[in-house]
Every structure is written in C-alpha cells, then in structure tokens.
Structure 1
Amino acid sequence: MKRILLSLFVGVGLLTSCDMDKAPYGSLDDSSALQSVNDYAGFRNGIYSNIRSFATGGYIYYSDIQSDQFLGLTIAGNRNGEFNNGLVTASSQAIGDVFESMYTRISNTNYFLNKAEAAIAIPDYFTGDEMVLMQRYIAEAKFARAYYYFWMMERFCQQYTPDKADTPALGLQLVTEFNPNGNSANYPGRSTMAETIKLIKDDLTEARTGLAQYEQIDNKGIKPMAPYINTYVVDALEARIALYLGDYATAISKAESVINSQVYTLANVDNYIDMWTNDESTELIFVPFVDSSESGGIDNTSYGYISYQDEKSADYIPTIDVLASYEDGDVRLGSFFTVWDLNFDGDSQPAYVFFKYPGNSALINGIDYRKNKPKPFRLSEQYLILAEAAAATGATDKANSALNTLRRNRIEGWEDVSYTGSALTQQIRNERAKELIGEGFRLNDLRRWGVAFQRNGEYPANTDIEQFIVSSSLSCKYTADDTRYTWPIPTDEMEINPQLAGQQNPGY
C-alpha cells in the first residue's frame, strides 16, 4: 500500500500567502493516503516532530530576550535585536516566520484529524484494537492543536481578562478543517478570546478522554520523561492555561493532580544538573523523543544567547539583577550560568553567560553542538503554578508549602520560611523568575502581572563589560500595560487576508 511520507511536512500556511492549494508533504490523493492504522501511526510521528521542533530555538528565546533578564552585547551584531531593543514590528521576518510556522503545524494537525475522525466513523473499518490506537492518536493530535493555539494566544493576543472575553477580534484566527484554497474571501478573521479559549479547552477535554481510555488498557506511558503525551501532560497544560486565565481553582486542581500523582519527583541539589546536561530527570513530565540521528529536527536554544561553536562569543548575558537573585547554595546558579572570556575585537573580557542548554553529548553528531532535548513540561512549573494560584485565593499555607518544597530541592540547607500578603506573592514571582529563566515564560509573566521594566546595565562583576552593552538594550523601557507585550499580526497576513482589516493588535 502506498504510504504518506512521514518525516517532513511542507510549509502549508492556511492563513498566509503560501500556495493555498498544497496538501501536506508527501500526501497522495484522498483515495490512497492514510488508509491503514500504520499510515496514521506514521503521520503521528510527524505530529510529534512538529511538537518537539517548536519547543526549542526561537520559539523559546525570542520572548525571553525581549524581557527584562538579558542585556544585548555589541558582539551580537544585532542578532534578534528587535526583540531585546523593543523594536518588534508587524513586518519583522522573525514574527512572520513564527506565525506562519504555527499555522503550518495547525494545518497538518487538521489534515490528520479530519482524515482520522472520518475513518473511525466508518463501521468496521478498524478492528477493536486498532480503534483503541486510533482514539489515542486523535487524542494526541487534539492536544497538539490546543497546545499550538494556546502558545499563539499568549503571544499574539492581548492578556486575557473576563471583560475582554467577548470583544470581537481579540482572539486568534481559528481553523479546524483542512480545506486549503486560494480564495482570500474565505479566510477567517480573528475570533473572540472566548471562542479561542473554548476551542482550546474542548480539544483538551477530548484529548483527556481519548488518552484516559487508552491508559485503562496500557498505562506504561505514564512515567517521567515520557516521549508521548499522557493525561498528566494534559493536566500540566490545563494548569498553565488556568493560571493565564486567572482561574485559580482549576490551576490548583490540575497542578495538584500532577504533583500528587507520585509519578514525578523534583530534582534536588545533587542531581539537578543532570536535567540540563543529560536531559534526564524524574521531574520531566514530557520529553519528545530525539536521538543523534534526529537532532537536526530541533533548534539550538542556547544559540539565542551564546555561540554554539566556541566559548568566546555571546549575544546576550544575564543582568546583574538575575545573577544576584540566586543565593549561596542555590544549585541553579552553577547550572544556568558560567564565566567565559568574551572576545570584543581582540579585547578579552570575562562575563557570566547563560548556559542552561549546554548540549547533550548523546545528541552530538558532529554538527549539532549544544543541542538539548525539549522540556516543555516540568514538575517545578506545577509547584510554581500551585503556589501562585493558592496565594491569589488566600490559601497561604498551601502556597508556602509549594514554595518551600521547591526551594528545599534547589537551595542547599534551605530552612522553610512563611510569607503572607504581597511578600508571599513577590517571593513566588521571584522563584518563578529564577527557576524558569530561558524557558519562554518571562515575557508573558510580566504582562500577566502588569509589571513595568527597564534593564539594569550595571555589571559589578566586571565593570569593563558595561562599555560593550548595547545602548538601546539599556534604554528600552516597558510600561505595565505596554502594547509590545503582545506581538503584532504579521504584515503579510494582514495584506493577504481582507477579513483582518481593522483587527491588528494595538500599537502596530
């Protein structure tokens, strides 16, 4: 039987100026593509490949470079400078590429779902065992689509508040059917936030149902570092979404489901470094499979900050405020940062560089130096979600317990401290900044909290470094409600889609 080619997907942008009549790469015609359960299993591999590729590289570091934690150096040659300097525009190529690539992923997922859901509706098309597998594959695809849409909502939509939920055109362009065509009159405009959230939640509900049914038969996939999505991965994403929405009761419930599962345990001061050097830890909830032969399918996240070839160059370094936030005995200080002698046109100056992604030796194939496996969901994030949501609802003891548990596993000799009120809230925010630095959360956190910033350019560890800090990196200021916290809809998208007229984000 003819098979769909599995390893690559074409750049099909349902909502972009790409060829609107293209089908996913390697697809045949409707009568021959995706017929057997093995065909669907193969396409499923491509869905996982898409998930892992967007959990690394610029999808992670663009927004973190834009935030308050990193200073640009003159050695960077302005790489990714638009983010760090606060100059992102609708015509930015990086923004356009991200937008298109995310809808490409959604397009391919829709293709799979449309075919799979039609196939399982045919009586006796699959055997009983095959139907169980098909339901699992569909559930994984529903999770993927929800994951993509939520990631986009955090970046391309304003911060959600209940009063904005039903305001027209503040959500995303929603596409659930694979029906590419070149007629721009049929392209969708932006939905409301409520409609976007409903699609995300509905997909996750269906993902949970399908995965739970499979896990009743085979639950061996529920384990740390799982290469496939399971119900606890769904819980973890739902907890993240609930925190974003200010739905603190759900955030607490979902985070506690993961924490209390007894499946995952926090890394401690003795083995924390293994999570970043070897990509191994009992606190990793989901780690998409990658080996050395496939490492080319993931981007080098470290490259957003430092050179991937030598130890003489860095585009961005952590601010002194970041370095000073870690106290003595904090394992993260040595795990995330190291000192390099940076070369500024022959002038060598030591500085702390961000080294959270040092490279997994098992992935090195002579080309992919400093590549690490994606880690999109970790147990520590669930503790931080629990702490923040509990503090917001006045559950002080629960919030302190979560915060202290995390700190005991990060700071040698930590003795529990209890906080209340605004002090508790600030301590949780501080811990979130320290734990999740460089993982793509910071910009959205600052927006969600309504925090203004201007970077601190002092560098007492080596004051000579200060002359090599990009001036616009220092002068860049964000207000608490800065429009730049939300990325623009790309110019190409605005021009090709007449339904987007008047629907650009404020400030662009």
Structure 2
Amino acid sequence: MKKYIYRGLVMAFAVAISSCTTEDLEPTLAQSKSVEESVNKVDNLFSILKGIHSILSTSGYYGQDVIITNEVRSDNAFSNGGSGRYTTESQYVYNNNSDLIWNNAYEVIANTNIIINADVESLEGDVDYGRHIQGQATAIRALAHFDLLREYGQQHTGNGNLGVPIVTEYKGEDLFPARNTIDEVKAAIYSDLETAFSMMDAQYDNTNVYISKYAAKALESRVAVYFGDWSRAVSAAEEVINSGLYSIVPADNFVSSWTTDGGPNIIFELAASQVDNAGINGLAYIYQINDDGSGYGDVTATSELLGIYEASDVRLGVISTDGDFIRNVGKYPDNVNFTDNIPLIRYEEVVLNYAEALLETGGDALTELNKLPANRGASLYTEATKENIILERRKELAFEGFRYDDQLRVGMDMEARGTDGGVIEVINYPSYLFAWPIPLSEMNANSNMVQNDGY
C-alpha cells in the first residue's frame, strides 16, 4: 500500500504548500531532501494542513465521489446515465478497477502523519499553535480512516472482520501492511479523536474551513452512532451542544443558508473559491443542469424521497420537480462559479446523533428530535422511535451522503436502480456488495493485502 501512497506524496506535499509564499519553507525542500527535515517552522505545519484540506475537497474525495457514491447507492437517488457517471455505483456493478477514495484517503493520512510526528518543540514559531495543528491533523487522520473503513470494511458483508490498514507513519518500515480488524480501526479512530480534542485549543479556531476542537467531538458522535456506541455518542454530542457555539438554522433561512459560507450551524466545511474549486467535477454539476444545458445532472432524486416531506416543509425548497427528473438544486447550488463551500459537519447532524443516542440509552430523545421539524415548518413527532429518527435524518441530510450508511447500520435491504429509476435488484442485507473492492492496483502492489469477498 505505501508504495502507492508514497509515489504521489511528494506531489501531494507540493500541493499542500503551493498556496504559501516561498518564505514559508526552508530551501531544503527545493533540494529534494526529506520532507520531514524540511519542516522547520510551525508555519510549515499549517502549509501541509492547508494541502490536506485541499485533498479532501477534490472531486475524488468529498468534492464529489464520497457524497455522490453514497447517495446513488441509497433509496434517495440514482444515476440517470446522462453523462454516464455513477451508473455502476447506482446499479451495484462496480469492480476493483476503481480505487474510489483509497489513494486520496491514504494521501491525506500520509500528510497528517508528517504533522503528527513532527517534533513541534524544535520548530520556530508558536509551539502551542503547533500542538493545535497537530491536533487538527490527528482529527483528520481519524476522519480518513473512518471514511476508508465505512467504504472498504466488512462490517456489513456478513462474512469477515477485516477493516483497512492503520497507517501512523509517513515513512515506516512496513511497506506492505495487512488490513487491521474492524475493531482495531475503530479503536484507532476513537483514540485519535480523543487525542485531537485534548490537543486542540479553541482559541485558535477562528474559521470553520479548518477542522476544529469541537468538530473532533462532532465527528466522534458520528462514528459512535455508526457503530452503535451509544454512551460515547451521548457524551460526544453533549460536548458540542454544551459548547454553545452552534445552533440550528431556522426555517426561514434554511434554503438560503446553502448559498452562503459559514453560518451558526456549520461546524466544519471545505472551502471553495472562484480560483480553487472542483469546477465541473464538483457536486453542483453532477446534481444540476442549467437552463443553457450546462451541468451533467446525472444524479436524480427518487419519487420516494420527494414523498416523505410535508408540503409545509422548507426542505422541499432545495428540490426541483421541473423537467423530466427530480433534482437537488438547493444544496451546493452554485453551478456557474462553483464557489459553494462543502459542509462536512452540520450542527443539525449532531442534534440527530444525540437524539438517537438518547433513545438507545433511555434519555429524552423526543425533545431533541423535535428540534429539527420545529425549525423546518414540519409537524412535530409525538413519539421518538428508531424509525422516526432515521426518517428525520433522511429528510434533513438528503443529498449529503449520509443515507447509505444509515440504511446499512440499521440492516436495511438495498435497491440497485437502472437509469430510469426502476429497481433492478433488491440486495438483501448483509451482502458482499456493501464493501467496496480493494483496488486492483493495491492488490498487485501489496502481497499482504486481502481482497473483499466477491471481487
């Protein structure tokens, strides 16, 4: 695996520092010396951190693939095949010729390891800020391992306990690491998130386009809900809620909140600008088609999704029924300049995580659950049930890449859909198709790698 990680890592590091001036780094980098030896200042760590966030925002990661792949495999959406994109994912006929996010996620991890393993005490600059950056890198390493685990791990296959390799060094002696177990990867993720929270100082969190102290706890609540670690989910969500830093966007501002960056509900988002964005390979272009015909518009919402909303629900405002298909036009709406930031963690998700965890631990789940419909022009629930919470998650988080994981973690059967939206096959839970194949390039390079069943 590391053969493939390191092959592109010097380029990745170059990307990480490209937005900074030449004074940010020592000249040793230009002389092709060790990357680690080129880190002499705290500012160098921040340069790498910026590059990590840039990788996360590429079309091969959160800029499109992670979110869209998980939408079209759910009952929220399918690929209509307009440009041929995501039809194999929508129909569950993908194979190991694609690497999905494997290489990008491990690039992220490799770069975080440069920061995490740096001797911050020896660096020029604000050492406390350097420790904060190390905490940020540790949280992102957890995010990347979690992304890899939920896509490639065998937790929903009904056969096996393999996760993904845990990588904690930029360059280590083990060039061909084997896959760790699901429990080992989960433990590493939790350990990183706990460490990150303890290392970060909220005084340095002056923007939400870089991962922050409370984003680490919000992410921990997400991981804990995914794995059903309910007491941990309660504690992590309460840290975020009790911080008082965030609030649910009210009904009148819900649709418009997607046209502006930041906001009281944004815990962590990836930045985009007119000079730095995914362009036609981003989320807006794959969801939409403009009046002039620009845009791919391959991803179509199902009529079933449209039918779960009441007429008064403001969330209907992001969905268009004009033309032949039902489309998301309100989340990631900028299909011209592509300047919309990509929210990765919204406060609304944390509230829903909290509600579900309270339901499972005997707390007041109904009060938390009803905070969402109360701010969306929808009817309040009279009872907090698993079904109602999963339904509300579907309503609130549609088109953001959550539904696939939510369906799997509660054991739902899945539907493969053709380009007309018709169900081709019902895939019973569990199934080997619920774990993405390890890329063929990785299998050929790493003799210790074990392929998921069925590929």
Q: Normalising by the residue count of structure 2, what TM-score does the alignment of the two structures yield?
A: 0.87
Q: Which residue number in structure 2 is paired with residue 356 of structure 1?
A: 330
Selected match of 2:354 from 383, 386, 398: 386
For residues 101 and 205 of structure 2, the distance between their equivalents in structure 1, rounded to whole angstroms, comes to 35
Residue 131 (str. 1) matches residue 120 (str. 2): no
CA displacement at 1:356 relative to structure 2 = 3.3
Equivalences for residues 167-246 of structure 1 within 5 A? 170-179=162-171, 186-211=175-200, 214-215=201-202, 218=203, 221=206, 226-246=208-228
Residue 438 (str. 1) matches residue 399 (str. 2): yes
Equivalences for residues 291-330 of structure 1 within 5 A? 291-296=273-278, 300-307=282-289, 310=293, 314-330=297-313
Alpha-carbon spacing, 1:399–1:191, altered in 2? closer, same or farther (3 Å): same
For residues 383 and 186 of structure 1, the distance between their equivalents in structure 2, rounded to whole angstroms, comes to 41
Structure 2: which amino acid aligns with 1:69? N
Selected match of 1:29 from 12, 28, 33: 33
Secondary structure, counterpart of 2:92 in structure 1: coil
Secondary structure, counterpart of 1:476 in structure 2: strand
Structure 2: which amino acid aligns with 1:70? A
| Superposition CA RMSD, Å | 2.9
Structure 1: which amino acid aligns with 2:33? D
Secondary structure, counterpart of 1:376 in structure 2: strand
Secondary structure, counterpart of 2:300 in structure 1: strand
For residues 145 and 110 of structure 1, the distance between their equivalents in structure 2, rounded to whole angstroms, comes to 8
Give CA-to-partner distance per residue, 1:198-241, whole Å, 9 cap, x none: 22122212211111xx33xx3663xxx62332221111001001
Structure 1: which amino acid aligns with 2:151? R
For residues 435 and 411 of structure 1, the distance between their equivalents in structure 2, rounded to whole angstroms, comes to 12
Q: Which residue number in structure 2 is paired with residue 71 of structure 1?
A: 78
Equivalences for residues 268-287 of structure 1 within 5 A? 268-287=250-269
CA displacement at 1:479 relative to structure 2 = 0.9
Whether contact under 8 Å (1:312, 1:340) holds in the other structure is no
For residues 480 and 38 of structure 1, the distance between their equivalents in structure 2, rounded to whole angstroms, comes to 48
CA displacement at 1:403 relative to structure 2 = 1.2
Q: Which residue number in structure 2 is paired with residue 104 of structure 1?
A: 107
Structure 2: which amino acid aligns with 1:285? I
Secondary structure, counterpart of 2:322 in structure 1: strand
Whether contact under 8 Å (2:358, 2:365) holds in the other structure is yes
Secondary structure, counterpart of 1:209 in structure 2: helix
Equivalences for residues 5-154 of structure 1 within 5 A? 14-16=2-4, 19=7, 24-26=12-14, 27=29, 28-30=32-34, 33-53=38-58, 54-73=61-80, 76-91=82-97, 93=98, 96-114=99-117, 116=118, 118-120=119-121, 122=122, 126=124, 130-154=126-150
Alpha-carbon spacing, 1:56–1:292, altered in 2? closer, same or farther (3 Å): same
Mind listing any 5+ residue stretches in structure 1 that lack a counterpart?
1-12, 342-349, 458-468
Alpha-carbon spacing, 1:470–1:229, altered in 2? closer, same or farther (3 Å): closer
Equivalences for residues 347-496 of structure 1 within 5 A? 350-360=324-334, 369-395=337-363, 398-411=364-377, 414=379, 416-419=380-383, 424-454=385-415, 470=419, 474-496=423-445
For residues 67 and 326 of structure 2, the distance between their equivalents in structure 1, rounded to whole angstroms, comes to 20
Mind listing any 5+ residue stretches in structure 2 that lack a counterpart?
15-28
Secondary structure, counterpart of 1:303 in structure 2: helix
CA displacement at 1:70 relative to structure 2 = 1.6
Q: Which residue number in structure 2 is paired with residue 504 of structure 1?
A: 451
Alpha-carbon spacing, 1:140–1:71, altered in 2? closer, same or farther (3 Å): closer
Identity of aligned residues (%): 26
Alpha-carbon spacing, 1:470–1:180, altered in 2? closer, same or farther (3 Å): same
Whether contact under 8 Å (1:264, 1:285) holds in the other structure is yes
Give CA-to-partner distance per residue, 1:415-467, whole Å, 9 cap, x none: x33215xxx21111111111111111111111101001337x9xxxxxxxxxx
* Structure of greater Rg: 1
For residues 180 and 426 of structure 1, the distance between their equivalents in structure 2, rounded to whole angstroms, comes to 46
Give CA-to-partner distance per residue, 1:33-92, whole Å, 9 cap, x none: 111223223222212323343332112111211112223335x2432111011101122x
Number of aligned residue pairs: 435
